[in-house]
Chain A
Amino acid sequence: DAKTTQPPSMDCAEGRAANLPCNHSTISGNEYVYWYRQIHSQGPQYIIHGLKNNETNEMASLIITEDRKSSTLILPHATLRDTAVYYCIVRLAVQGAQKLVFGQGTRLTINP
């Protein structure tokens, strides 16, 4: 199973870009990288996902390296409300179904 490795915690100043790294060196060719975040025991919130190409939406950008072994989530202008645990997840195909296997995540703190 592809696994992800993230730093346990990061800090970022409000208004700056937050860059969250993720390693997924055993990812297979058809496995997607997903990012979710969880704010203080609420349900995880979907942020973005990608397969090979870089992706951008209204929340964030996802940069995937050419060899697909790592990726970076970028929050371009972090606010205090972006303080959360961010999960980088590889979606696995198992028994004909798909499942998300969450790692430990990165606790991102945005400081005023």
Chain B
Amino acid sequence: DTEVTQTPKHLVMGMTNKKSLKCEQHMGHRAMYWYKQKAKKPPELMFVYSYEKLSINESVPSRFSPECPNSSLLNLHLHALQPEDSALYLCASSQGQTQTQYFGPGTRLLVL
């Protein structure tokens, strides 16, 4: 089983809203990732968590706030986003940081 789940599938939010994206895996993986993918572009890494600690932040603006409350769960808290933040947000996990990453289906976010 290599399933990573993400909720919600779609999200529309205004620039003053606060929302959260959720990612879950039950494969016992200890590394989890957030990627952002704009239309017709490849995914770009945002954050890496390893053993529930943030190990990479790719200079992401502070309006994106990741959280890893336990080894199965990864959240991305969104606040005061801009329309250019509209994108597909992908979560991935891997057994360890040197192992294969498995991706979820993504959350399609539209900021109005």
Residues of A whose CB lies within 8 Å of any CB of B are 34, 36, 41-46, 49, 87, 94-105
Complexed CA–CA distance, A105 and B92 (Å): 19
Chain B residues engaging chain A, CB cutoff 8 angstroms: 2, 4, 42-45, 48, 50, 55-56, 88, 90, 92, 97-98, 100-106, 108
Number of A-B residue pairs with CB-CB distance less than 8 Å in the complex they form: 48
26 A-B pairs with C-beta separation under 8 A? A36-B103, A43-B4, A43-B90, A43-B92, A43-B104, A43-B106, A45-B103, A46-B2, A46-B101, A46-B103, A87-B42, A95-B55, A95-B56, A96-B55, A97-B48, A97-B55, A98-B97, A98-B98, A99-B56, A100-B45, A100-B101, A101-B45, A102-B42, A102-B44, A103-B42, A105-B42
Chain B residues whose CB sits within 8 angstroms of the CB of A104 once the complex forms: 42
B97 touches A44 (CB 8 A): no
Interface of A is mostly: strand
Report Cα–Cα, A95/B53, bound state, in Å: 14
Least CB distance, B6 to chain A, in whole angstroms: 8
The answer for the CA separation of A54 and B4 in the assembled complex, in Å, is 28
Chain B's closest residue to A41 (CB) is: B88
Chain B residues, Cβ within 8 Å of A94: 56
Other A-B pairs beyond A46-B100, A99-B48, 18, CB < 8 Å? A41-B88, A42-B105, A43-B92, A43-B103, A43-B104, A43-B106, A44-B43, A44-B90, A46-B2, A46-B102, A49-B100, A94-B56, A97-B55, A99-B45, A100-B101, A101-B45, A102-B44, A103-B42
CA–CA, A105 and B98, complex, Å: 22
Q: Which chain B residue shows the least CB distance to A97?
A: B55
- A100: B residues at CB distance < 8 A: 45, 101
**In the complex, A99→B90 CA distance in Å?**
14
Please name all residues of chain B whose beta carbon is closer than 8 Å to the beta carbon of A42 when the two chains form the complex.
105-106
B30 shortest CB reach to chain A, Å: 12
